[in-house]
Structure 1
């Protein structure tokens, strides 16, 4: 039995883990702790399990390709005065084995046993396949 839970979310506005890294690097410069975060409307009910070793898995164009460890959850108040959840992430983006995922709204919980495995350190250094090819290979079960 595991003592943590993960989240999975569509990565909107970026097409690859490298795009996500560039986006987060630029945004982090504006933050006092220099850590990337994803701000969401809903606060995870399983926050303790998430912060206790969980990751946020990112889905790019229908394929889960990467994850980031969740460090903490911060309250973030927007300019509209509404308090939201800031999921503070480890800056390291870890590529995973491609796993197809259908589109969904918001984030979902992802059990550790259902999460894609991390790519080996060697494979992470290789040039990634184009998103469309990753999706096609994952769809037919090759990856």
Structure 2
């Protein structure tokens, strides 16, 4: 075996190992980003305002629709949406969640958004964020844990090679 063949063999193994390492680092980063999103969600839900009143104007604005197309039939024997009238406290709080899919912005660069989801809260979630700032405060409260989360994920990847 010549020196050139040996060098090619070593280089090929190094390229394969680097590709495998890139995949593992990406997976670890995605896991860490999702975990960071879960932490922000927990903190923002703690800080989100919950309506405690009983006024009719808010009751109309907070009708909550439940999809019963796959469930039992309603009283008229029809399938569709069943609305529950009245004030539904905690709609904003319970709607805060991270997006399900990560957005890839480049090589080793991912994005995850966390915020209120659903049509029933989009009418007032921005206004409440301006008043209370629950999402920004939730991100700030959880940001102290981000470093630990990412270090743990990367340590688990490097453990395979170390």
The TM-score with structure 2 as length reference comes to 0.21
Task: Choose between structure 1 and 2 for higher RCO, CA contacts under 8 A separated by at least 6 residues.
Answer: 2
Higher strand fraction (1 or 2): 1
Asked which structure has the greater CA Rg, the reply is 2
Higher helix fraction (1 or 2): 2
